[in-house]
A and B are shown apart, each in its own frame.
Chain A
Amino acid sequence: MSGTPARVVIIGVGNAFRGDDGAGIAVAQQLAEQAPAGTEVLEESGEGAALAEAWKGAQLAIVVDAIRSGGTPGTIRRFDAREGPVGDEPPGRSTHGFGISSAIELARALNELPPQLIVYGIEGRDFALGEKLSPAVEKAVPRVAAQVLSEEPESARVR
C-alpha cells in the first residue's frame, strides 16, 4: 500500500456526564472541526479493547483523557506510549476495568502498538456527575487541542 498517506487518528476519551472526565471528549469535539482533512477524530468511552481497535493501523495515534494525580487542575501531561507504561495504575487489576493503560500494554504484548502513540492527560478536579468542566480544565482544552495538532507523523523514515 505504498503511497497511502499515513493514517492519523485522534481519540478523545471520557464521559461527558462525569464532570472533568469529559475533558478528552471536549478536545475531540473541538478537533473534529479543526483537524486537517484525512485525520480521523473519534470519541471513546475508555473501554480498552475498543481503543486498541481504534488505533489499529494508525501511524500516529493521539489519545486525550482526563487524569487524576492530585496535581493542579488543568495541568497538561504528555506521555509517549512507546517509552513504557502510561500511568501508575497497574493495568488490569480491577474488577471490570480494562482501560487505556491496559489497552496500551495489551497492544504491546501482541506487537500491535502504532509506531507513534501519544497520550495527553489533563488533570481534572471534579469527577462527580454533571455536564460541566471545571474552569481550569475548560481553559486547558484549547491548549491541548493546539498541542495535538502540532503532533506529526514520522511517516516514511520509520523502520
Chain B
Amino acid sequence: MSGKNIKVDILARVEGEGALSVKIKDHHVADLKLRIYEPPRFFEGFLRGRKFSEIPDITARICGICPVAYQMSSCHAIEDAAGVRVQGALRDLRRLLYCGEWIESHALHIYLLHAPDFLGYDDAIRMAQYYPEVAKRGLRLKKIGNNIMKVVGGREIHPVNVRPGGFYKAPSKKEVADLADDLEWALNAALETVRWVASFSFPALERDYEFVALRGPGEYPFNEGRVVSNKGLDIAVREYEQHFVEEHVEHSNALHSTLKERGSYLVGPLARYALNFDLLTPVAQEAARSAGLGPVCRNPFQSIIVRAVELAYSCEEALRLVKNYGAPEPPFVDVHPGTSIGYGCTEAPRGILYHRYRFNEHGLVLDAKIVPPTSQNQKSIEEDLRQFVEANLDAPKDKLQWQCEQAIRNYDPCISCATHYLKLELERE
C-alpha cells in the first residue's frame, strides 16, 4: 500500500456529494446542471416503524450544522398530530435554542465559508493569516451560539435534550443567566459583522424571486407561522403539500421542489427578511439600513449582509430571552400521538424545513416526509447561475468559475442536507 501518489481523501465528510456543470455554446448557456445528494430520503425510510419519541434524536443526525431545525420541525409535527401546542416558557426556551443554532450557523457561513470569496482568498485559512482578529471574532461568535445549544440542548452537535412537548431537563436560571455577558459581546460583534460585510463589493444580479418564509404575529419567525410568499401564497403548514410539489429531474437524484403552477421559489435569509422586515427589532432594522439595504433585497450575493443582520437579530433576541428566563416546570407537556398525521415547519438557518409524519395507534411512524431547505432552493440556484453566466459570458474562465462557486455559496448549501463536495465544471465550446 506504499507509493507516493496515493490520494488520501482524508477525513472528507461524505454526507453530500454534488457537482455543477455549465456548458457554454454559441455565446449562450447551452446546459447547466446542478446535482446534489440528499440523505433525508434515506431517513424517511429509516424512520418507518420507529416510535414518535425517537424522531427528534434521529432526525437531528441528518445535519451536523442544523440539528435544532430537524428537532424543532419534527417536534412540531408530532405535537400537531397529538393536538398539543407548546406555549409560554417552554416555547421561549425553544426559541432560545433556535437562536443558538442561527448564531452558530450564520457565523460559520459568513466568516469561514463566504467572506473569503468576497475578499479574494481561497479559503478561511488564508484569510485568517491576513485577518486573524476577524477570524477569531467569527469563531467566538460561533462558539457563543454553540454554547447556547449546549446549555439548552444538552450538547452542541447533536443536542439530546429535546423531546416532543419540550425538554428532558430545563437548564437552571443561573446556567441561562451566565449566557448574558457573552451575548452582549456577540450583539456588538454581530453589528460589527454587518458593517464589515456591507463593505464588500457585490457582483451585479437582481432576481425576481418568489420569496417563501414563515410569518406569524409579533416576532421574526423561528418555530411558527403561516407559510407565505410575496406573490400571494398564505397557507397553514398543513396545506404545504397542496401547493408545493417535488419533481424528479433527470440529472440529479435529488428532488426539485416547486410551487404548483409558478415554479421555482426561494427560502432562507433573503426570503425571511423580505417577508418579515417589519418584525425585526429596531436595532436590526437600523443595521440593515446603515448597510444600504432596503426592506427587500433581490441580489443573492448580498445574502451575506442579510445573514449578518439575522445574526444580530438572533443575538438580541437571545439576550431578551435569557433576561426573561424562568425554568419551565415541568420541562415538557405530555404528547401522545395516536392514529393521526402531523405537520411541522420551522425556519432552519437556510430556510423552511418541512416535516410530515403519519402515525398508527401506537405512535409508530407509518411514513414520513422531510423537505429540507436546500432542495427547495435547488431550482433557484440553477436559475441564479444561468442568469449570472449569461450576463458574464465574456468574463475570464477563472473569474467566472470563482463567481459561480460564490453564487452557490450564497445559499449556504447544507453540509449534509444537500451539497458538500461540490465539483464545478465549466466548459466552453
Contact = CB atoms under 8 A, between A and B. Distances in A.
Interface of A: 13, 15-18, 21, 43-50, 52-53, 65-72, 75, 77, 79, 86-102, 105-106, 108-110, 119, 121, 127, 129
B123 A102 contact: yes
Contact of A15 (B11, B14, B414): B14
For the complex of A and B, the 4 pairs showing the least CB-CB separation, nearest first, are A92-B123, A45-B64, A87-B10, A95-B422
A88 B7 contact: yes
B42 A129 contact: yes
B413 interface: yes
Interface of B: 1, 6-16, 18, 39, 42-43, 46, 61, 64-65, 108, 112-113, 116, 122-126, 128-129, 132, 135-136, 139, 142-143, 146, 156-158, 405, 408-409, 412-416, 419-422
A119 B1 contact: no
B408 A105 contact: no
B147 to A, nearest CB: 10
Given A72-B1, A121-B10, A15 B108 contact: no
Given A17-B61, A88-B10, A98 B409 contact: no
Contact of B13 (A46, A119, A129): A46
B124 A106 contact: yes
Given A71-B1, A92-B122, A109-B132, A50 B146 contact: yes
Nearest to A98: B112
Given A43-B157, A65-B10, A121-B10, A96 B422 contact: yes
B61 A129 contact: no
A47 B415 contact: yes
A90 B125 CA distance: 11
Contact of B421 (A75, A87, A94, A121): A94
A129 B15 CA distance: 9
A101 to B, nearest CB: 6
B11 A119 contact: yes
Contacts of A97: 12-13, 415, 420-421
Contact of B1 (A44, A75, A89, A96): A75
Contact of B132 (A49, A96, A110): A110
Nearest to A106: B125
A151 to B, nearest CB: 18
Contacts of B6: 69-71
Contact of B113 (A21, A75, A98): A98
A2 to B, nearest CB: 26
Among A45, A65, A71, A75: residue with most chain B CB under 10 A: A45
